Amino acid sequence: MARSNREIPHFYLGSAIDMSRAVAWLAQTNEKRLLPERLIYGVLLIKAVALALREVPELNAVWSEDRPVLNPSVHVGVAISLRGGGLVAPAIHDTDRLSLDELMSSFRDLVQRARAGRLRSSELSDPTVTVTSLGEEGAETVFGLIYPPQVALVGFGRLTQRPWVADGEALLQAVVNASLAADHRVLDGHRGSLFLAAVDRFLQKPARL
């Protein structure tokens, strides 16, 4: 993290995303499933980020030998808190190609092995971008530091109930603050904004994730 803060010229963008459709779809889907088969909210966020990386591929890169190197595969790193303290952010390989059920299975396996100290070296070295989510009890907004040699980190705060205007009507909706930490050597604010807009768009159609 000291290296990240010293070497990477960070810039930050944030956007509030209406999650009411995604939360409702998730609840309806899980009602029909046995407990071990249920999806968690976080996998929707991870999959939306993976799909948005296809539209703004500059973020799916690493900084190497004074230049960005784009990765043809999307390997999203997920921040996992360890029981003894600290974080690791191993990769879910080919995240954009996984169904939500496959992603849920991979995520559950990754968390278990991370906390048991049984991660593979490739899972720690392969992430092309990292997602961190503060869950239900965290702060509303997170501004993280990029994991070198990656060039971006995507953060999600906790879900909050917030007044929201939709179709000219004021409603109380579930909203999450999404943030992007990006390397200014690789990306500018315009492309970063397009990425966050893509994440939002994918989350509005959860059944298609």
Q: Which residues are catalytic?
A: 184, 188
Beta bridge partners of 176: 17
DSSP 122-154: HHHH--SEEEEE-TTSS-S-------TTBSEEE
Rounded Cα gap, residues 176 and 23, in angstroms: 11
Phi, psi at 49, each rounded to 5°: -65, -45
Beta bridge partners of 18: 175
Residue 184 identity: H
Instruction: Please compute, for residue 77, the number of CA atoms within 13 A of its CA located in the half-sphere on the CB side.
Output: 30
